[in-house]
Chain A
Amino acid sequence: MPRVHLRFFASLRERLGPGEERAVTSGTTAGALWESLVGSHPAIDRVRVRIAVNERYVEPGHELAEGDEVAFFPPVSGG
């Protein structure tokens, strides 16, 4: 079971905290991990989430690997 490090930002950080370690089953995708978070925290369902693995944007189908840092955040609004 790969272990990954989750990080949350902005509105997601306020709801879920800064992050956590989590063991996932092999082959788990970034999108599936997000769905499992939504399952335990229904309030985040409306967030149009962006996902970055190891500081690079990924699509939901991206498979997670041991040691990955998986960041979840809402649409960016810098500037």
Chain B
Amino acid sequence: MAELFEITESAIDPARLLAAVGDPAAGASVLFLGTTRNENAGRRVTRLEYEAFASMAVREMRQLARQGRRRWPLRRVAMAHRTGIVPIGDASVGIAVSAPHRAEAFEACHWLIDRLKEIVPIWKKEHFRGGTVWIGAQQGGPEPPRQRRRAGVR
């Protein structure tokens, strides 16, 4: 099964993510789906729109998977994020992780979605009745990535 790290305008396919982490040495596969919610900060959200710096986003996803494999004995990782308009209730992001045992698969999947939200260059624009707002830009997003000894090295 080919590896799967992608930015896509199409619907996220959970079965495809799970298939991408299939591995005979895995005893557990964990799938996380982030779905768009109809409410945020007291606003009634009508739809969400995502923009990505696609090539860098895929590079950062691969990097996170490598870091995850160093922290836990993972078998495979797959990550996909949708861009464009995502209707309420649809998945905007999906992450699948397989590992020999469930504990590390759960932990790694949780860590991967947290890190994705912190560093992968994707932006969410919330559409609500009466306007739109870029999330992160106005409301205090995550802290910048930690200082690196050399530029481009982490």
Chain A interface (Cβ within 8 Å of chain B)? 7, 9-11, 13, 47-48, 50, 52-59, 62, 71, 73-79
**Chain B minimum-CB-distance residue to A55:** B56
Are B59 and A47 in contact (CB-based, < 8 A)?
no
Q: Which of B15-23, B65-73, B118-126 lies on the face that meets chain A?
A: B118-126
Residues of A within 8 A of B34 (CB): 79
Q: Measured between alpha carbons, how far is A77 from B50 in the docked complex, in Å?
A: 9
Chain B interface (Cβ within 8 Å of chain A)? 34, 50-53, 55-57, 59, 81, 92-93, 113, 116-125, 134-137, 140-142, 144-145, 147-148, 151-152, 154
Chain A: minimal CB distance from B127 (Å): 14
Are A78 and B120 in contact (CB-based, < 8 A)?
yes
- Which of A52, A53, A56, A76 is the one whose CB lies under 8 Å from B118? A76
**Chain A minimum-CB-distance residue to B147:** A59
List 27 A-B residue pairs with CB atoms under 8 Å apart, sorted by A's residue number. Answer: A9-B53, A10-B51, A10-B137, A11-B137, A47-B137, A48-B141, A50-B144, A52-B53, A53-B151, A54-B152, A56-B151, A56-B152, A58-B152, A59-B148, A71-B53, A73-B123, A75-B137, A75-B144, A76-B141, A77-B117, A78-B92, A78-B93, A78-B116, A78-B117, A79-B113, A79-B116, A79-B124
Are B152 and A78 in contact (CB-based, < 8 A)?
no
Residues of B within 8 A of A62 (CB): 151
Chain B: minimal CB distance from A28 (Å): 14
- Which of B51, B55, B92, B137 is the one whose CB lies under 8 Å from A79? B92
Are B123 and A10 in contact (CB-based, < 8 A)?
yes
Residues of A within 8 A of B122 (CB): 76-79
